[in-house]
Chain A
Amino acid sequence: MQKYSIFNLVKNAFSNHQNWDLAWKDPTPKEEYDVVIIGGGGHGLATAYYLAKEHNITKVAIIEKGWIGGGNVGRNTTIIRSNYMHDENGLFSEFGMDLWRKMSQDLNYNVMFSPRGIINLAHSDAQMNAYARRGNSMRLNGIDAVLLNREQVKEIIPMADFSDNVRFPIFGGLMQPSAGTARHDAVAWGYARQADSMGVDIIQNCEVIGFDVSAGKINGIRTSRGNIKAKKVGLCVAGSTNILAEKLNMTLPIETHLLQACVSEPIKPVLDNVVTFGAGHFYVSQSDKGEMVMGGDLDGYNSYAQRGNLPTLQHVLTEGIAMMPFLSKLKMLRTWGGIMDMSMDGSPIIDKTHIEGLYLNCGWCYGGFKATPASGWTFAHTIAQDRVHELNAGYSLNRFSTGHLIDEKGLGTKTWIS
């Protein structure tokens, strides 16, 4: 593989950049693989990469229905954070933060990781207390957290509404300074390029239509491009999890829902951080191009349509304007929607299944993008070693039966509860 470097950039300039290697190949599916990963999104590509890098398993195929990075990894708001209270989420995400910090070097691909900090705004004394508690839990897990008072918040985001007559006055906020954003497509492409260079077959435009299971063991998959034998199969298909689970006669604690996001027209730099509204569900950051990137609630009903409805967008942006009134002056440039695998407790599942050789990675809800490296790393471990790593031990499938739910915010599919 050609290394991306200043020297290669100069060298290729002499041939008008016509002779760069392809970032990844377009192979025809082989008859058999050691591991087949279904889903060529961020998590699937990362899983394949870590299978090759950490476990030396390179006879791997990624099967993607459309094109790689065309799903949620290309449709999110690029926020990276580990500001969780519960140990399972905190330790898992903080492990991921470390992978994020090293990612550009590791992948030899600039993912533009920008640790600009995230601020969760508090709008009451009770919320400040809750944030102090969460901040303390974070710090006990080695995650950076700073509790800000109203004046400190005002210094960082003076454009927020600090006037006296607002419905939800800003009391303060909880900041994780090491949180941030990254270039989402670059993450998918970086992982794809490295995985490909280590021998992983990235097979696009190949839809899985069935599974070959006998005597409780997976033997392979049936696809639109023929049957593929596999010793192990990993499911990494986010919003399509239920569709594939049905083919396996599995019913999962997952519902597929629609989540929208939008960007404004680009404006001059105004917002350095990621900021979330504490009296509803709204968050905003400013992209490197200057667009205000905004998102919030689910549309609220089961959906497989990758496009949203205006009532939810209106609701979300009303919250945004309550928080930062200047947003009302901006024109909307783009909106988009993705389909989320919403788990019932709002936390993900990375686990083995009752079928031998079949592994499950789903339930990412609102937080799939930031989990990409940690999810890939732990899923690769789970597949390679046929046992869960301590980092994803809490993300078990049977926790819903045993009662060990990880209800970080009590949010799952039921948005109206919040």
Chain B
Amino acid sequence: MLYINCPHCGMRSQNEFSYGGDASVKRPELNKEVSDQEWDNFVYNRKSLRGKHLELWQHISGCRQWIKVERDTATHEIFRTYKADEEVA
């Protein structure tokens, strides 16, 4: 069982959360010419790092907020959690 420290609600079990994937992926800017390659990178291509990975989770059975979680994909250790709009240190 993973325990995720929701920045809004505190420590909760993974059962309350839903996974949202790599948090470092940025949507191409609005109202700008977007190349196919840029769309590809946004929609499909992922680094899927082994080790420290910044990812999105949604506290779906809690405050329903999206949060960012810094987690190790090899050991499942969780280092830090951030609010969705918080700068990652």
Contacts and interface: CB of A to CB of B under 8 A. Distances in A.
Is B truly associated with A? Answer: yes
B55 A251 contact: no
A130 interface: no
Interface in B31-87: 36-37, 40-41, 43-50, 53, 55, 71, 73-76
Given A302-B53, A400-B40, A416-B19, A255 B74 contact: no
Nearest to A398: B40
A268 to B, nearest CB: 34
B1 A311 contact: yes
B40 A401 contact: yes
A302 B44 contact: no
B14 interface: yes
Given A310-B1, A311-B14, A413-B21, A305 B47 contact: no
A264 interface: no
Interface in A130-176: none
B44 A243 contact: no
A252 B45 contact: yes
Contacts of A414: 21
Contact of A401 (B14, B19, B37): B37
A416 B60 CA distance: 12
A interface: dominant SS: mixed
Interface in A284-314: 300-305, 309-311
Nearest to A312: B14
Given A304-B73, A309-B2, A253 B19 contact: no
Given A301-B19, A302-B55, A416-B19, A251 B36 contact: no
A314 B39 CA distance: 37
Interface of A: 242-243, 246, 251-256, 300-305, 309-311, 344, 400-401, 413-414, 416
A353 B24 CA distance: 25
21 contacts: A242-B47, A242-B48, A251-B45, A251-B47, A253-B45, A255-B21, A255-B46, A256-B73, A300-B19, A301-B19, A301-B55, A303-B74, A304-B74, A305-B73, A305-B74, A311-B13, A311-B15, A400-B43, A401-B40, A414-B21, A416-B19
A391 to B, nearest CB: 23
A244 to B, nearest CB: 11
A276 B49 CA distance: 32
Nearest to A300: B19
Nearest to A256: B48
Interface residues of B, number: 28
Contacts, number: 71
Given A311-B15, A416-B18, A303 B76 contact: yes
A413 B36 CA distance: 21
A401 B41 CA distance: 10
Contacts of B75: 305
Closest 4 CB pairs of A and B: A253-B44, A242-B48, A251-B45, A301-B19
B46 A251 contact: yes
A311 B43 CA distance: 28
A185 to B, nearest CB: 26
Contact of A302 (B2, B15, B37, B73): B73
A302 B48 CA distance: 7
A3 B1 CA distance: 49
Contacts of A304: 50, 73-74
B36 A401 contact: yes
Contact of B44 (A300, A305, A310, A400): A400
Contact of A242 (B18, B40, B43, B50): B50
A360 to B, nearest CB: 14
Contacts of B41: 251
Contacts of A305: 73-76
Nearest to B13: A311
A254 B1 contact: no
Contacts of B1: 309-311
A309 B71 CA distance: 15
A242 B22 CA distance: 14
A58 B86 CA distance: 56
